[in-house]
Chains A and B, each alone.
Chain A
């Protein structure tokens, strides 16, 4: 990581969407008026009680919130018995991951601002499924851009989206994966901005997306804060979450941002190893760049070309990260660490055997880091892990990674 010293300030972004030197709006002029308008409308709706009531109602009665905060006693025992480990069960949300917190919010927003069509990018298909779900519920037309490579690898999710009434549009440019699907979604939005809202799936992209997605995902941290105070009567010592674009991590971190005693650990995908050249550790091994509309840490060559990422987990397989995470890293508010593919697989096994929960491969990175870090944590530390998604979608990848045929 390039070292940039910035004192941490809560309450960002500023009026132009900057988190320190990060963030902003680096997009073609065609989209600028659209983003300015979106920001204006979002800021009004954010304080609109009837809009918030609609969001809250769907989160409670459709998504299944609040999600439980589960005391993982057998996992704690397996890691030495000295920690009080809690899992925030986002895997129990409708569609199996935190992604839906954001798509419900943005789909309601699209409705309010009069956009009958929504588009999304998707890698493994989780955000695509969550968008298609919200679009079906709210009667919006939905097109999902997905790399041709990913379509091949994730046929089940493609079928799910189609079943939900979405159209899946194959993207064959570049590496035919998530970053290219994002490029294509932006291109589509430029041509169709009059009737279309782009539901970005993470805390990435141009302002106001990183702020807006964070706000919709912050329900995770708000609930967790209340739940832990009720259970333990004090704040946690540490919060651990995996980071690709970083929406589940920002969702749980943000409501604790001003609690200086709460340490944040963002776990990036170290793939075959941080120094292997095949990883997705944009913060630890990337440098400052402008990619997909924002300034942030990105994986790039010395000539400023974006390099493909690698992770066993499709949801972390992205060469950039959210600008607010870059700011948390540069200011030292959060620590970012890497977990390899092999370690993540161990994380899957650990959680399956101790707690009877099959985590998503993304989430398994956070579990694996907890296992590594446990011995360095002092007795009776309270540790929250964001259990961002369930692993049913990953069973084939997990089997392959473990050398098993199913």
Chain B
């Protein structure tokens, strides 16, 4: 059976689009708001959603996502509660959900139990930033055994041979980390994507999504010229934080998604897709 993730990339490709992939920390600002925000992301044009499972010590994350994780944990978010959110969202949506989080909470839950429960709840994939391919064999077998994808990441430091190795182990898509360092919107940033993505294309036919530091429509447009999917994390989480407690929160999220999706719709805005790569506005 073709997975929802594969179908999503195929459909986007057929329409000349790039997939918009927002990241949202589950349980932030409150558990009760997450499903509403997932719906707002979908209305705004999200093609795939990364739902963050919070961890107390997220070493790959910058200040924005760290703070959202800490707040979410204060609110009492657990992995079981996150799976419940997925189940509720899945009743009315076909947007693929990638559970995104540090390895320890998944390990503690039990990988077999997790694979079973996540699949039953309607999640599509797991993405574990601190589980490199070298340690991920056992987890990959268990997770894929339940029909879920396990997405591995490629970094700017990854040499060609290792890119080949990672691409042979990932499923669903390849996540390319655009810059060295942690997650987070950056005021000015130069994405050096041409060569690494060309290398990646030479070793895989899977879709490539690019994330870390992408905050503005112009940056999305620039990255979308080369990637199949554009991941937006910290900028969205920051927006959610700024409007926490406001009744306008879902509308703001939806509006931001529309702005980010616009340059990724190839047919509606071809000009945006040809903007120079290295001149994003901040």
Contact = CB atoms under 8 A, between A and B. Distances in A.
Decide whether A and B are members of one complex. yes
Nearest to A287: B108
B49 interface: no
A186 interface: yes
B130 A190 contact: no
Contacts of A194: 180
Interface string A62-91: 000000000000000000000000000000
Contacts of A33: 155, 157-159, 162
Nearest to A289: B104
A300 interface: yes
Contact of A29 (B105, B107, B153, B181): B153
Contact of B57 (A27, A34, A291, A302): A291
A29 B155 contact: yes
B59 interface: yes
Contact of B158 (A29, A191, A287, A293): A29
Most buried by A among B56, B106, B108: B56
A25 to B, nearest CB: 6
A287 B109 CA distance: 13
A183 B57 contact: yes
B104 A174 contact: no
B131 interface: yes
Interface in B225-279: none
Most buried by B among A30, A31, A34, A305: A30
A26 B78 CA distance: 22
Interface string B57-71: 111101100110010
B130 A28 contact: yes
Interface in A171-228: 173-174, 179-180, 183, 186-187, 190-194
A30 B130 contact: no
Nearest to A33: B157
Interface in B144-160: 152-159
B158 A32 contact: yes
Interface in A1-57: 16, 24-34
A384 B11 CA distance: 69
B56 A26 contact: no
Nearest to A304: B108
Contact of B153 (A24, A25, A28, A191): A28
Interface residues of A, number: 37
Interface in B21-73: 55-60, 62-63, 66-67, 70, 73
Contacts of B105: 303-305
A174 B155 contact: no
A312 interface: no
B166 interface: yes
A362 B108 CA distance: 30
Most buried by B among A24, A26, A179, A193: A26
Most buried by B among A187, A192, A291: A187
A179 B104 CA distance: 15
A38 to B, nearest CB: 12
A290 B104 contact: yes
A29 B181 CA distance: 11
Interface string B81-117: 0000000000000000000001111111100000000
A306 interface: yes
Contacts of A285: none
Contact of A304 (B104, B130, B180, B182): B104
Contacts of A289: 104, 107-108
A194 B102 CA distance: 25
Interface in B187-214: none
Which 7 A-B residue pairings sit nearest by Cβ, starting from the closest?
A: A304-B108, A191-B181, A304-B105, A30-B155, A305-B56, A29-B155, A28-B60
Given A29-B154, A30-B155, A290-B103, 11 more contacts: A26-B131, A29-B177, A30-B181, A173-B67, A174-B57, A290-B107, A291-B104, A303-B105, A304-B106, A304-B107, A306-B104
Interface of A: 16, 24-34, 173-174, 179-180, 183, 186-187, 190-194, 287, 289-293, 298, 300, 302-306
30 contacts: A16-B134, A27-B132, A28-B130, A28-B177, A29-B157, A29-B158, A29-B166, A30-B155, A30-B177, A30-B180, A30-B181, A32-B157, A32-B158, A33-B158, A173-B67, A174-B56, A183-B58, A187-B182, A190-B182, A192-B180, A194-B180, A289-B108, A290-B103, A292-B59, A293-B130, A303-B78, A303-B109, A304-B79, A304-B108, A306-B104
